[in-house]
Structure 1
Amino acid sequence: MAARSVCQQLRNSRKFNLLSVSRVLRENRPSCLYRNDGASDVSVLPKRWHSVVRKQNANLHAGQLLRVQSPVSCQTARTMFIQTQDTPNPNSLKFMPGVEVLESGTYDFPNPQSAHCSPLAKMLFRIDGVKGVFFSRDAITITKADDDMEWGVMKPEIFAVIMDFFASGLPVLTDEKPSGDTVIHEDDDETVALIKELLDTRIRPTVQEDGGDIVYMGFEKGVVKLKMQGSCSSCPSSIVTLKSGVQNMLQFYIPEVLAVEQVVDEAEAISNEEFRKLEEQLNKKT
């Protein structure tokens, strides 16, 4: 299968999500309500209501406000007036958050790899179906992958990401450079290129949110070699994350991947061995 078609499948697929493996706390990520014409205040809802939002929103006519009934009371954490505007391209939609996006000029992110300098663009690319992101002074234009992706399904997540981001106070653009280990070189074969893209767009962002990072170290005889950093390097569940999360995702999209192996440097190996000995001594005393 060509690299481009596999990458397209990756961006469009809903079958596998690494977040479901290790991100239980994401069940409380907010979603939102809105009118189809975009002329409404946006309210925040817990993620457990996402299915209700999406199911009912599919039946909305323009100008109608979606209402969700639940026995649990919902207190709005923050509100934001977000409007949407059609563009000549039916696969692109303009989102106007009512606040300044860029001080001046524009910035185009045609793919996830180009979003290394924008926390907001990174977050938007993690939404299923998002193909491109474009910033202007007062708007964010989202381009979806194809006609099969429905704006009615994507809008709640896009609204939630925009609200979360501007509430965080983070800068829209930073001086961050792309991760060197996942830069795709001309001499990389198709399999290595796909591994790097998956790591950079789907796996690394989740690991970084937990205070760590994951570094690509090589691919030999079907084995992907990775190094865990930060909080993940000494985390007891790091092996589970590698096997149940990272390995499963890589194998799902890339049949050539047979296994994932954690690389540990010499200093870390010594530290781990000393810790193991200390733990054994403590267990004997108890």
Structure 2
Amino acid sequence: MTYPGINGLLPIKRKIMLVLNNLRRLSTSQSLLFHSSRLLNSTVYLLLGVRKLFIQAQETPNPNSLKYFPGQAVLGSGTRDFPSRKQAGSSPLARQLFRIEGVEQVFFGPDFITITKNNDFEWAVIKPDVYATIMDFYSSGQPVIDEEKSQESDKPCEVDDETVLMIKELLDTRIRPTVQEDGGDIIYKGFKDGIVLLKLQGSCSSCPSSVVTLKNGVQNML
């Protein structure tokens, strides 16, 4: 699914939202208010101006996660995981996405955004707000990551031995690209007593098939 971006027609959005606010004051039926709100919100997205920003949504193996491509760089390189609202302080975009009711996790890749929803919410309710939030954010010119507030940094680590270097190379070249294709990432956490410690992020962290991915995919390769 693709939605056009915003370019100069924000007054239309404001007028429609004004109608929505008036409807909210006049309506006495919660059901009528809800459905009218969804209709007006959908109209907002369809009337937004055309810009070189086309957001595509792609399904992942996790039914509660969708991968969004804004048509522009998100991080450019690397990944960043925000498993909760409290951990989104370094990203203005992640903070705005967490304001959407039902959003449980946010994950950024080089050119994509993975949204994981609460199981109690339907995508039909969440998706329009996600599209609008991403479009509004990219129109604002804000940075995706506020480096001054970023608390994430690479911790000094011991020099890797040959075995660890081989494990990391295998992860980076054979495994991580596949996991990132599914809207997540897999992070090396350590190697001790012949056991490789890994952490799944993004759509993979709560995916029903995560255990299968680890055991059948990663374990066999290693």
- Give the TM-score taking structure 2 as reference length: 0.50
Conserved? CA contact 2:73–2:111, under 8 Å:
yes
- Aligned partners of 1:75, 1:132: CA distance in 2, in Å? 29
Which residue identity does 2:77 align to in structure 1?
Answer: S
Structure 1 unaligned spans of 5+: 1-37, 58-65, 179-286
Partner of 1:141: 114
- 1:41 CA displacement: 3.0
Quote the offset at 1:85 in angstroms: 0.3
Are 2:66 and 2:115, in contact at CA under 8 Å, matched by a contact in 1?
yes
Structure number with larger C-alpha Rg: 1
In the alignment, which residue of structure 1 is the partner of 2:2? 39
Deviation readout 1:152-181 (Å, 9 max, x if unpaired): 111111111101111111110113448xxx
Q: Which residue of 2 aligns with 1:116?
A: 89
The letter for the 1-side match of 2:144 is V
Question: Who is 1:54 aligned against?
Answer: 38
Structure 1 CA distance, aligned partners of 2:37 and 2:122? 14
Establish whether residue 160 from structure 1 lines up as the match of residue 132 from structure 2. yes
How far did 1:40 drift? 4.5
Alpha-carbon spacing, 1:129–1:99, altered in 2? closer, same or farther (3 Å)? same
Distance 1:140 1:151 in 2: 15
SS of 1:164's partner is: helix
Amino acid at match of 1:108: D
Share of identical aligned residues, percent? 48
Tell me if the contact between 1:54 and 1:152 (Cα under 8 Å) persists in the aligned partners. Answer: no
Deviations 1:249-272 (A, max 9, x none): xxxxxxxxxxxxxxxxxxxxxxxx
For residue 78 of structure 1, report the CA deviation from its aligned partner.
Answer: 5.1
Aligned partner of 2:54: which letter?
F
Q: 1:130 aligns with which of 103, 115, 133?
A: 103
Task: Specify the alignment match of 1:96 in structure 2.
Answer: 69
Contact 2:4 2:49 in 1 (8 A): no
2:5 and 2:49 in contact (8 A); partners too: no
**Correspondence 1:174 to 2:174:** no
Name the residue aligned to 1:248.
none
Alpha carbons of structure 1 residues 84 and 75: separation in structure 2 relative to 1, 3 Å: closer
Q: Secondary structure at the match of 1:117?
A: coil
Point out which structure has higher relative CO (alpha carbons under 8 A, 6+ apart). Answer: 2
Counterparts of 1:77 and 1:56 in 2: how far apart (Å)? 16
Query: 2:72, 2:111 → 1: CA distance?
Result: 6
Whole-angstrom distance in 1 between the partners of 2:143 and 2:5: 22
Taking a change above 3 Å as real, the CA distance of residues 145 and 76 of structure 1, as seen in their structure-2 partners, is closer
d(CA) in 1 for partners of 2:70 and 2:36? 24
AA aligned opposite 2:141: G
Distance in 1, matches of 2:49 and 2:5, equals 11
Provide the C-alpha distance between the structure 1 equivalents of 2:87 and 2:54, rounded to a whole number of angstroms.
28
Are 1:116 and 1:176, in contact at CA under 8 Å, matched by a contact in 2? no
Change (3 A) 1:100 1:77: same
**Which residue of structure 2 lines up, in the alignment, with residue 107 of structure 1?**
80
In the alignment, structure 2 segments of 5+ residues that lack a partner are 21-33, 151-222
Which ranges of 4 or more aligned residues in structure 1 deviate by more than 6 Å? Answer: none
Aligned mates of 2:134, 2:148 — CA distance in 1:
20
- Which residue number in structure 2 is paired with residue 212 of structure 1? none
Letter in structure 2 aligned against 1:175: E
Give the corresponding residue for 2:57.
84
**Aligned pairs, number:** 128
Indicate how the Cα distance of structure 1 residues 145 and 164 shifts in structure 2: closer, same or farther if over 3 A, else same.
same
